[in-house]
Amino acid sequence: NAGVTQTPKFQVLKTGQSMTLQCAQDMNHNSMYWYRQDPGMGLRLIYYSASEGTTDKGEVPNGYNVSRLNKREFSLRLESAAPSQTSVYFCASSEPVMPYEQYFGPGTRLTVT
Amino acid sequence: AQTVTQSQPEMSVQEAETVTLSCTYDTSESDYYLFWYKQPPSRQMILVIRQEAYKQQNATENRFSVNFQKAAKSFSLKISDSQLGDAAMYFCATEGGGSNYKLTFGKGTLLTVNP
């Protein structure tokens, strides 16, 4: 039982390049989330998927797209990376019922030069 | 929209002593959940403790306990008998209640434990 897995763990991109961050969970959770963590800012929600087949914008969606490929997988795509997207990205999953406890992946450190 | 405020960017404590981390929040819901997450240098987010606003009794998990003041919208974390392994960033978070299952996080408190 791996919980929530993310690939890659580290990535360096040049401005304008694209990439997809992958996330998978094996807890049969319905809801999945993508956050970014920046120094002094806490975790901010980028996009979430309440259930398979649905996605919604969070607090900071600009510059990102997501795909809920199936119940297990939720990917985050940067179409044209910018230095402002340098951050640590976390994927999380939960059941959409109380207590709404979220389980996190190990994170991806992305640097855009 | 929910907001979460952690007013202490950094705290330090001596090993074996007690420390309290502060958190205040704002929500219009009457029933909701509150969480403290720990993020050690490994970067992994780990749930420390949770509290349902409907319950008056403060949650406790071993050396971790909360002081939940619903009227004041305050949710502080007390760590007793601090250990070196408690050194981490701590995030307070709230789930908005109702049909809102998204978490809103505070900016975090960096806890240092001195030997």
Q: Is the Cα torsion angle A105, B32, B105, A53 positive or negative in sign? A: positive
Q: Which residues of A touch B106 (CB under 8 A)?
A: 42
Task: Return the residue in A32, A43, A44, A45 with the most chain B beta carbons within 10 A, the one to mutate for interface testing.
Answer: A43
Residue A104 has pLDDT above 80, yes or no: yes
**Distance (Å, whole) CA A37 – CA A56:** 19
Say yes or no: A34 contacts chain B, CB-CB below 8 A: no
**DSSP assignment letter at B85:** G
**DSSP assignment letter at B58:** P
Q: Note the pLDDT tens digit of each residue in A41-78.
A: 889 999 999 888 899 998 899 999 999 989 999 999 99
* Nearest Cα residue to B36 out of B65, B71, B7: B65
Say yes or no: A43 contacts chain B, CB-CB below 8 A: yes
Strands (E), chain B: 3-5, 10-14, 19-21, 24-26, 33-39, 46-52, 60-61, 64-69, 74-79, 88-97, 100-105, 109-114
Q: Band of the pLDDT at A103, cuts 50, 70, 90?
A: very high
Say yes or no: B106 contacts chain A, CB-CB below 8 A: yes
Task: Return the residue in A32, A102, A103, A108 with the most chain B beta carbons within 10 A, the one to mutate for interface testing.
Answer: A102
